Amino acid sequence: MDNWWVNAIWSITPTVIIGIFFAFVIRTILRADRNERRIYREMEAEERERLGLPAREDGAAS
């Protein structure tokens, strides 16, 4: 019976490790995208202010 539990753990371990790695990669991609969009929004607001243009409303498509 002890062998059965060891085999079960060894069978599940690669799936768990790959799942954790996948979650980390997806989280990193989403965080990078969010930060890039925030920086772009700040840059656009600065340029609009510099040029004297009205501020964009949230959700406005360009």
Q: What is the pLDDT of residue 53?
A: 87
What residue spans define the domains of the chain? 14-52
Residue 17 in tokens? 């490790």
pLDDT in tens, 3-26: 998 999 999 999 999 999 999 999
Residue 32 structure tokens:
């990078």
- 0.75 exceeded by pTM: no
pLDDT of residue 59: 58
How far apart are alpha carbons 46 and 62 in whole angstroms? 16
What whole-number distance in Å separates Cα of residue 11 and Cα of residue 9? 5
Per DSSP, helices labelled H in the chain are 2-51
Which of 56, 21, 19 shows the shortest CA–CA distance to 40?
Answer: 56
- Give residue 1's pLDDT: 64
